[in-house]
Amino acid sequence: MKIEEIKKEIDALSDPKNAEFFLKLNPTAKTPCAGVRIPQMRILAKKIAKDNYREFLDNNPLDSFEMELLQVLVIGYAKDDINVLLEYLRKIIPTIHDWSVNDSLCQTFKIAKKYPQETYNLLMEFKDSKKEYEVRVVAIMLMSQFLNDEYIDRVINVLNSLYTDSYYSRMGVAWAVATVMAKYPAKCIDYMNSPNNHLDEWTYNKSIQKMKESFRVDKADIHKIVKAK
């Protein structure tokens, strides 16, 4: 599909009321939003991914929220050599500036489960970043694709080392830690009680709050965290 055709589809699916709602939830968004609903965007992205997806990714002007979202969804849905997809991933991560695009990328890049080491290695290129959304990509991608027996210890170590001085990076790490608690409670309790826990106070407390809000976390386990209130 040509860029012009894609933009026409977006215009046809636009919803001004949804756009207004979206912008309230995404205060860091920097581009216009047409208000197309996410399920419709996923359908469009799958269509592009089955076509000449590289032409789209190479020529996407990224001039609206929908075009930014399509970029990450198409990267996630495309079937290609992992190294090609990782290169597109490497290029798009530094451009992300809102949590919706960020989290959609991480949740959709499921090829990471087939090529975990290659994807993990790429994420480690951003591990020491001080940029808010590069940090959030690492946290949410680890949470979405790497919570398994092989990677759990590495996930905890990385979450413990991420630079979190911004709201969306902190929230990403807190969400990831709470999800670790849901899947690996014993390991998470040990981590939260460890003197080597380097989470800042805000992120630590937010992690506990998210555990309390989660239906997947046993509330009795939360009481085993010494600092849990």
What's the confidence (pLDDT) of residue 26?
Answer: 87
Rg (CA), the chain: 18
What's the confidence (pLDDT) of residue 68?
Answer: 98
Both tokens assigned to 195: 């003197």
Closest CA to 223 of 210, 215, 212: 212
Rounded to an integer, what distance in angstroms lies between the CA atom of residue 187 and that of residue 175? 16
What's the confidence (pLDDT) of residue 23?
Answer: 87
Rounded to an integer, what distance in angstroms lies between the CA atom of residue 158 and that of residue 65? 30
Q: In Å, how far are 123, 152, 157, 201 from 75, measured between CA atoms? A: 15, 25, 27, 35
Dihedral over Cα of 141, 145, 147, 151: its sign: negative
Task: Walk along the chain (229 residues) and give the pLDDT tens digit of each residue.
Answer: 899 999 999 999 999 999 999 888 888 888 999 999 999 999 999 999 999 999 999 999 999 999 999 999 999 999 999 999 999 999 999 999 999 999 999 999 999 999 999 999 999 999 999 999 999 999 999 999 999 999 999 999 999 999 999 999 999 999 999 999 999 999 999 999 999 999 999 999 999 999 999 999 999 999 999 877 5
What's the confidence (pLDDT) of residue 15?
Answer: 96
What's the confidence (pLDDT) of residue 209?
Answer: 97
What's the confidence (pLDDT) of residue 226?
Answer: 85
User: In this structure, are residues 208 and 217 in contact, taking their beta carbons and an 8 Å threshold?
Assistant: no
Rounded to an integer, what distance in angstroms lies between the CA atom of residue 94 and that of residue 141? 15
User: In this structure, are residues 226 and 194 in contact, taking their beta carbons and an 8 Å threshold?
Assistant: no
- 0.75 cut: is pTM over it? yes
Rounded to an integer, what distance in angstroms lies between the CA atom of residue 19 and that of residue 57? 24
In DSSP notation, 155-206 reads HHHHHHH----SHHHHHHHHHHHHHHHHH-HHHHHHHHH-TT----HHHHHH
Helix H, strand E, coil C: the string for 70-135 is: HHHHHHHHCCCCHHHHHHHHHHHHHHCCCHHHHHHHHHHCHHHHCCHHHHHHHHHCCCCCCCHHHH
What's the confidence (pLDDT) of residue 229?
Answer: 58
